[in-house]
Amino acid sequence: MRVCRTAFLVLYSTVSFTKKTGSSLKDKPTLWITRKLSTATEHRASQNYRVILNPEDMLVTPDEIVAKSHEVDAILPCHSEVFSRDVVRLLGPRVRIIANHSVGVDHCDLDALSKRGIMVTNTPDVLSDATAEIAMLLLLGAARRAIEGDTMVRNSQWNSWSPSFMVGHQVTGKRLGIIGMGRVGQVMGKRAAGFDMEIHYHNRNRLDPETENGAIFHEDIDSLLRVSDFLSLHCPATEETRSMMDKRAFSLLPDHAIFINTARGALVDENALLDALTSGKIAAAGLDCFQTEPGGNTDFSRHRNVFMLPHIGSATFETRDAMGFRALDNLDAFFSGREPRDRVV
C-alpha cells in the first residue's frame, strides 16, 4: 500500500450534536468528504460530523480510498472516486454508508457494496435544471457552429462575410430525440419545446400523458433514431446501455443529424462517432462527457464541428450547494436511524 499523498484536514466542531444531545466530539460519526465541496456544504457537515476534508482538492487514488476508509464511518465521494470490487473488498469495517455527491452511481460496484452491508445513496432531482441547460447550450452551439465562430473572432481571423459564411443548422421546428426521459430528460424536453422543437423519446416505461406533455413515445430505440434530427442522451450507464451509440445506431439517424451527450461517456462508441463525423453522417456534436475523464478524447479536437465541455453539466453555484445538502440529508437520516430518501442499495 502506498503512502497517501493527499493532505487531508480534520475539521473539528462541537456545534450541533453536542448541544442538542450532550454527546461529545468523540461520539460524532466521522465523515470523509473526498473532494473540495461548496463552502456551505462543508460548513453544514461540520455541524453534525467530525469531518475530514480535502482542502487542496487532490484526486484521490484507490489506495488512498482504502487507507482512509479505516478511519471513518461514512464517505461522501464524487464520481471521481471509483469503488471497484477490489476497493470495496478492502474497505475498513467502520464504513457504513457511501453518500454520493452525484446522481450516477456507475463508479460504485453496487453488488459488492451491498454484500458488505454498506448503504449507497445519490443526489437526484437537484441537478436536472443545470444539466438540461448545458444540454441546450451544446445543442445550440453545435448547430450554429459556436466553436468555429468564437475561435475566428478571438484569433482576429474574421475578415470577410458572404451569404454562405458560417451557415449552420436551424433548431426551431426540428425533431429532438431524447433517450432517457427521467428528470433531466423531461426538463430537456421542456426547454427544447420552447424552441418549438418536436419532442420524441424512448424510455424504459412510457410516461403518463400529463408528464409526457405532448412528447411522442417510441417503444424501441431504432424507431426513435430514425426520426431524430437532434439526439440527446439522458440515460444512465449500465451494462445494457454501454456503447449503445455504436456504428449501427449512428447509421440509423437522419443524414446530418446533430448528437448531444451530457449523460455518460460510456454510452458512446467514440470511434463510431468519429467515423460518423468524418463521413458527414453526423453534422455536429456537443459533448460534455467522454469515455476517459478527466482528459477527454483529443481526436475530437480535429473536428471543428464538435462543441466540447469538461463534464460541467451540474456546475452551478446553486446546484453544487443543493447536491451537497442532498448528500448530507441522506447522511443525517441514516445516522438518525431513518431511511435515507435517496437510497440506491
Active site residues: 264, 293, 311
**Residue linked to cell 456545534:** 15
Residues in the chain: 345
* Rounded-to-integer distance, Cα 240 and Cα 232, Å: 18
Listed in sequence order, the DSSP H helices in the chain are 16-21, 39-48, 62-69, 85-90, 110-115, 128-143, 146-154, 183-193, 209-212, 221-227, 247-252, 270-279, 317-335
- Pairing type for strands 175-179 and 74-76 reads unpaired
Nearest Cα neighbor of 10 from 35, 39, 40, 46 is 46
- Pairing type for strands 30-33 and 282-287 reads unpaired
Cα Rg of the chain, angstroms:
22
- Pairing type for strands 175-179 and 198-202 reads parallel
Q: Up-side HSE of residue 286: CA atoms within 13 Å toward CB?
A: 26
Burial class (CB in 10 A: 0-12, 13-18, 19+), 267: buried
Sign of CA dihedral 200, 202, 203, 208: positive
Q: What is the DSSP letter of 301?
A: G
Q: What is the grid cell recorded at 92? A: 475498513
